[in-house]
Structure 1
């Protein structure tokens, strides 16, 4: 019977050795690697391609970025976050980064084994005390993404949005795009419908959410 390969990354040496020994003594698993940083997680996965990677979220380096990279380039490696971070937001971030399991460090060894078995079977595992809250939060995130992805703007609508973010008036937008003010107002009505906005300011704010980091002068003018 072939064994599942498993690797562990945690910056607490005693804990790292402890959880590794739990699985090393189990005939179903073969421990192939151990590390203590986000960079180690990437290196171990690239070189050894374990079936399961158990990682601590709070260790040197950008663990979430490493998890995202692993989940995108090596999806066959299932990631279980083994962490002391009890917040729902931390769990949501871990799952969005590609984790298939989330286990709190206060959990029993049996819980961790159950999580590993679950992810190997293609399932998702969440520590029971957090499960209901995390599932609800993930549903909200999914609904928000679906709503955002459902919004599709035409080339002309995108042009108008960009000019709005520059603080242009309807007249200036019309002159820039060589269309009438009446046509600009028509597009504004369409944009308000698509972006679920009630007025010009809400159109600008909704546009900024679609373009993170963009702060148009139109917003400053309307808020001042």
Structure 2
């Protein structure tokens, strides 16, 4: 936990903005660097102040999700904490995907907001307790789908050839077993090496095994 955490706050509701600022100022470890009331102003504020934590509402004028991504990309040392009334798992996932590292609902206990600031300032993720398990499940499902998309898909013939490679058979033996020419086997081997980013038969076998294990874990 940092001794002093610098904070910038972006919210287009003056009363809420004043309330958040007043709450955080009661903590001696927090130093408020500035305030903004729109997505565009938030980006400029982040550029000028480079805070440890940027607290952002989602309902401000402008494309807030895009701004979150811009701040995250341009100022990697600034951790973005979404503080919003948008109470949905989808909003939380979208904000985290954009580059936020924290998501807290307005109406949460003030202690939760302070805890969230400390947590994201230390580089960890914080999700409001009401949605924590659902959001984590959503992140896991998304990562699972992404891994499945990235898993290398082999056709039937390629799988047959790899099966024979696992038995240490030569191209000639594989051709005889599959009733195809040795030239065709070599063609498939070239394709497998390209797909699996392998340089030789041994690396094809190793890569194929790893790819198979990855797909089994996703089932």
- Both structures adopt the same fold (TM-score exceeding 0.5): yes
Give ranges in structure 1 of 5+ residues lacking alignment: 154-182, 195-224
Please tell me whether residue 118 in structure 1 is matched to residue 119 in structure 2: yes
Distance 1:9 1:54 in 2: 6
Q: Does 1:27 align with 2:28?
A: yes
Q: RMSD value over aligned CA atoms?
A: 2.2
* Aligned length, in residue pairs: 157
Mean CA deviation greater in 1-10 or 46-55: 1-10
Structure index of larger Rg: 2
CA, structure 1 residues 114+96, in 2 after alignment: closer, same or farther (shift >3 Å)? same
User: Bigger CA drift: 101-110 or 139-148?
Assistant: 139-148
Task: Give TM-score, length-normalised by structure 1.
Answer: 0.66
Who is 1:205 aligned against? none
2:147 is aligned with 1:146: yes
Q: For 1:68 and 1:25, how far apart are their aligned partners in 2?
A: 30
> What is the TM-score of this pair, normalised by structure 2?
0.67
Inter-partner Cα distance in structure 1 for 2:125 and 2:3 = 23
Spell out the pairing of 1:39-188 with structure 2 (5 A cutoff).
39-151=40-152
Runs of 4+ residues deviating >4 angstroms: none
- Higher RCO, Cα 8 Å, sep 6+: 2
1:4 matched residue in structure 2? 5
3-state secondary structure, aligned to 2:130: helix
| Uncovered stretches (5+) of structure 2, i.e. residues with no partner | 155-183, 196-219
